Amino acid sequence: MSNTCRDFRELESMPVNLKKIKTMKAKIIFISCLAALLSFSSCESFLTEENRTSLTADPFFTSEVGYESLVNTCYTPLRLWYGREDAYGVTETGTDLFTKAAGNTNTTLNDYDNVAFNGTNGPLTNYWKYLYRAINSCNAAINRADKVKMSPDLLSKRVAEVRFLRAFYYWHIVETWGSTHFTTDETIGVETTANKTSPEKIYQQIFADLDACISSNLPEDKHSNGRVTKWAAKALKARLSLTRASATNNPQLYTQAANLAKEVINSGKFSMMSDYKAIWSMSNANGQTNPEVIWHVEFSDDHLYNKPEYDDYTIRNGGHNGHLMFCMKYDDQPGLKRDVLNGRPFNRFMPTRYYVEMFDETIDQRWEGSFKQLWLMNNTNKGAYTNMTDTAIYLYKGIASAAQRARADKRYQLLDLQNLYGDNTPGKINRLRTFQLSKFDDPTRESANEDRSVRDAFVFRISEMYLIAAEALSQSAPTEALDFMNQLRRKRAIPGKENQMVITQAQLTLDFILDERARELGGEQLRWFDLKRTNKLVERVKAGNPDGAANVKEWHINRPIPRVQLDAVFNKEEFTQNEGYSQ
């Protein structure tokens, strides 16, 4: 490593040859069921299945094998959401943290274009279909359970798992679209009407399902091979109690969120790692063994199991795709070519300058643990950088001095905040070169063009419970809230900087909590939900996202209902488009 790079930062040691990590993950084999996966609004089935057993769906699902296949089908949509391009677009862009990079394929989610952002949006149309298909599978599994011939103990566990999943999917639906279609009945065939049910009523069912999970015989083990556990149910109820408390200002819900979060923390089953970067190492990518992970969506080492039987562009070739989406375009630059270590640069999403400047990299290890800013040369084509020896590109989180630029001259590309963001207006932002979110990188892939990663998706981590407790207690028990926040911040401090990471009571505001959630959870498919529940969407987008700032409106807290849904229903006067959208 050159002395120049040491002037900017001290690099960690990095293995040159990384072997693909093989872990023997127990698999939930996601099998398509025969009849349950019909949308309530479509005139065509989503799957065309061949009934190889010559059985109708009803008797098949009363058998243990058939019912297990139906339950497993309820897990399938999780892999359509986590680690997927469209879902990152729905949850992370159009916020204060991430905006569109040069390769972005759906800019309206980020820009809130007054005309183009409407019910024809592709990602939202797809997830309407996927999530309601998931709900219908869950309803089928719950309502058919009393006819199933299997061990009562096992049946009780499976029903509890499905009730958790139904709550999980309905949370995504109601927070995305607001008042919307709600049913707990299985749909078989075609329905021509849809209802508009209030979030309050939908949440009543969500909490009823979660209460049933928590009081059930679900395992209390740390993990259960990707299946739902009692701890997952408590973590989800803590998250959603905070969500409803934020919307209703209900002190009982704040207390409930805090108590559940503390119960998970005090269980002793989960712990924060001392090295934030290590959380995301491929050696810790198996959620079953990662100490921070409460519940995860499993991606198998065998990609055969990562792709459901039906074909869909959303899932590409199976596997976790997060490593593609935030990867900077580097492979056309001097000294560099595409390789496994640096990743396949889809260049879809990039951090806003607002997000970059939330970090104090001198005391907080989460900056270096979350972002990549150095690319080492791997190609002999040096271009104008004739004195290049090791560093090819270095992104500097600051404004470079004349002396720093002189040192970089002809040796490597030095890009500072001015080069990357200019005056932070849309036309000046460098969409190709950017600080790269590295949480999902996978240097164990078999080839440079491999688009599948075996990394699991971490849905709940123990650090979120500290953040929930701190926020939920901030008004009723501020001293206790501060303690939870400072426990987290001390753990995330660069060794020796723990005292500098401690904050005071006066600093523990809602805006500080949102910033802390960004530093801890950025990119983990939560940000849009956080800004909605805190009623900070418009304020934060205007402050932090120059691409969406001019267009974002209060009514964007609900997304447009898909046009295909509105066209399909007969009760169009009742089931109407959400406020503000043209079609």
Cβ burial, residue 390 (10 Å; 0-12/13-18/19+): middle
pLDDT of residue 308: 55
Find, among 421, 404, 423, 402, the residue nearest to 412 by Cα: 404
| 393 CB-near residues (< 8 Å, 6+ apart) | 330, 333, 335, 336, 374, 375, 412, 413, 415, 433
Domain with CATH 1.25.40.390 in the chain: 33-83+114-218+522-583
Report the C-alpha gap between 345 and 339 in whole angstroms: 10
How big, in percent rounded to 5, are the helix, strand and coil portions of the chain?
Answer: 45, 5, 50
Closest CA to 490 of 509, 503, 480, 477: 503
Output the CATH code of domain 225-319+454-521: 1.25.40.10
- Spatial CA neighbour of 133 closest among 35, 28, 206: 35
Q: What is the pLDDT of residue 306?
A: 62
> Cβ of 506: how many Cβ atoms within 10 Å?
9
* Residue range(s) of every CATH 1.25.40.10 domain in the chain: 225-319+454-521
Rounded-to-integer distance, Cα 219 and Cα 240, Å = 21
Closest CA to 309 of 25, 34, 24: 34
| 531: amino acid identity, one letter | L
Any residues with CB less than 8 A from the CB of 384 and at least 6 apart, and which?
334, 410
Among candidate residues 135, 207, 140, 187, the one with its CA nearest the CA of residue 165: 135
HEC per residue, 196-208 = CECHHHHHHHHHH
Q: How far is CA 413 from CA 66, 330, 354, 386, 402, in A?
A: 59, 11, 23, 11, 14
Beta bridge partners of 415: 395
DSSP 64-131: HHHHHHHHHHHHTTHHHHTT-HHHHHHHTBTSSSEEE-TT-S-THHHH--TTTSSTT-HHHHHHHHHH
**Which one, of 412, 416, 534, lies nearest residue 467 by Cα?**
534
Measured CA to CA, the distance from residue 292 to residue 290 in angstroms comes to 6
Assess contact for 500 and 363: CB atoms under 8 A: yes
Pairing label, strands 413-415, 391-395: parallel
CB 396 within 8 A of CB 435: no
Q: Residue 87: name the closest of 116, 119, 124 by CA.
A: 124
Report which of 137, 172, 158 is spatially closest to residue 45, judged by C-alpha positions.
137
- Give the class (CATH, top level) of 33-83+114-218+522-583: mainly alpha
Give the residue ranges of the chain where pLDDT is below 50: 1-24, 26, 29-55
End-to-end CA, the chain = 56
Distance CA 146, CA 148 (A): 6
For residue 43, the model assigns a pLDDT of 32
